[in-house]
């Protein structure tokens, strides 16, 4: 049964010992990283190859960057979200792994609202919706996973009032998130844990957020209908967030039937 995991590592080189230990212990079949924060040539590919992974890297100096690692052979489909040839930010990777189309993404943060950054976020979400529509129309089973930088509801943040003016909670953003899911996609964690509370995937480095459990749920695994039928389990692994030199995000993983 394939195991897929997503993790915003917040600089793969800064977190390399922790990430390698986790990957070697948990052994996901498919591993998606966000915010690798290095150029493609600087990604520590040999270290991951030693664990049995082939790597598809979309890097960018100092910022952003995504990666798709797989224990199975894969075919690269795209290294940029379709719809805007001028978009140079490294935020998207898409490949066929076995009989599954795998998409790893790092959706723009969008802060502060009322700026070009917020407009870019909304446009990026509209393009993502268009891509999902296209894949659904083609009948391709797919997973979209990564750091979506969306707080879908007030239950997904420790203090809704504190985030009322944050780009992640704005009505336009939540509306586009619902539009994406209403195409027929399923939040894997919510399917497995419909009554879960405080299922955070991110804790800020400031103000003792981790120690006080002041978090957000912004990392997701979304499944197309056929893959949702194959879902066995999904969980947030909080253990890495408590380690020294941890990322401010923690891994989310799911297991699918063959």
What are the distances in angstroms from CA 42 to CA 11, 59, 60, 62, 65?
11, 8, 10, 11, 11
Q: Is the Cβ–Cβ distance between 187 and 144 less than 8 Å?
A: no
Q: Given strand 3-8, what is the order of strands in its sheet? A: 54-58, 66-70, 30-34, 3-8, 252-256, 231-236
Q: What is the pLDDT of residue 210?
A: 98
The pLDDT score that the predictor gives to residue 182 is 98
Cβ neighbours of residue 27 closer than 8 Å, sequence gap 6 or more: 3, 51, 71
Token pair of 230 as six digits: 């194959």
Return phi, psi of residue 18, to 5°.
Answer: -65, -45
| CA atoms lying within 13 Å on the CB side of residue 56 | 26
Q: What is the pLDDT of residue 95?
A: 98
**CATH hierarchy code of domain 3-256:** 3.60.10.10
pLDDT at residue 153, rounded to an integer: 98
Question: Can you give the pLDDT at residue 70?
Answer: 98
Instruction: Band the pLDDT of 258: cuts 50, 70, 90.
Output: confident
| Mean pLDDT on 22-30 | 98
Average pLDDT over residues 83-101: 97
When pLDDT is averaged across residues 95-119 and rounded to a whole number, the result is 97
Do the bridges between strand 92-97 and strand 100-106 make them parallel or antiparallel, or are there none, so unpaired? antiparallel
| Residue where the block lists tokens 């749920």 | 217
Please give the model's pTM, rounded to 2 decimal places: 0.98
| pLDDT per residue as tens digits for the range 168-226 | 999 999 999 999 999 999 999 999 999 999 999 999 999 999 999 999 999 999 999 99
- Please state, in angstroms and as integers, the Cα–Cα distance from residue 133 to each residue in 23, 59, 176, following that order: 32, 27, 13
* Residue-wise burial string across 9-27, b where 16 or more C-beta atoms lie within 10 A, e elsewhere: bbbbeebeebbbebbeeee
Average pLDDT over residues 231-235: 98
Gap between the Cα atoms of 211 and 203, Å rounded? 9
pLDDT tens digits, one per residue of 140-176: 999 999 999 999 999 999 999 999 999 999 999 999 9
- Domains of the chain, residue spans: 3-256
Tens of pLDDT, residues 205-215:
999 999 999 99
pLDDT exceeds cutoff 90 at 1: no
Tokens 């083609």 belong to 138
Whole-number average pLDDT of the chain: 97
Model pLDDT, residue 40: 98
- Any idea what the Cα angle at residue 144 is, between residues 248 and 29, rounded to 5°? 80
Above pLDDT 70, what percent of the chain? 100
């Amino acid at each position: 049964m394939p195991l897929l995991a997503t993790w915003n590592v917040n600089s793969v080189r800064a977190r390399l010992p922790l990430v390698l230990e986790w990957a070697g212990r948990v052994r996901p079949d498919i591993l998606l990283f966000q915010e690798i924060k290095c150029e493609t040539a600087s990604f520590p590919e040999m270290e991951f190859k030693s664990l049995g992974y082939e790597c598809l890297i979309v890097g960018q100096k100092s910022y952003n960057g995504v990666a798709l690692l797989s224990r199975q052979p894969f075919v690269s489909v795209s290294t940029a979200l379709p719809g805007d040839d001028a978009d140079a930010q490294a935020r998207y990777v898409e490949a066929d792994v076995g009989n599954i189309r795998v998409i790893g993404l790092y959706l723009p943060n969008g802060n502060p609202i009322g700026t070009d950054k917020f407009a870019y976020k909304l446009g990026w979400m509209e393009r993502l919706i268009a891509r999902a529509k296209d894949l659904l129309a083609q009948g391709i089973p797919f997973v979209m996973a990564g750091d979506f930088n969306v707080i879908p509801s007030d239950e997904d943040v420790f203090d809704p009032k504190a985030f009322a003016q944050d780009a992640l909670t704005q009505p336009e953003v939540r509306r586009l998130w619902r539009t994406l899911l209403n195409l027929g996609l399923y939040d894997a964690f919510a399917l497995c844990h419909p009554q879960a509370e405080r299922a955070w995937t991110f804790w800020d480095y400031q103000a003792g957020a981790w120690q006080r459990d002041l978090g957000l749920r912004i990392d997701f695994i979304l499944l197309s209908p056929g893959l949702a039928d194959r879902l066995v389990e999904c969980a947030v692994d909080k253990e890495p967030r408590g380690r020294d030199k941890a990322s401010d995000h923690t891994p989310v993983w799911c297991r699918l039937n063959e």
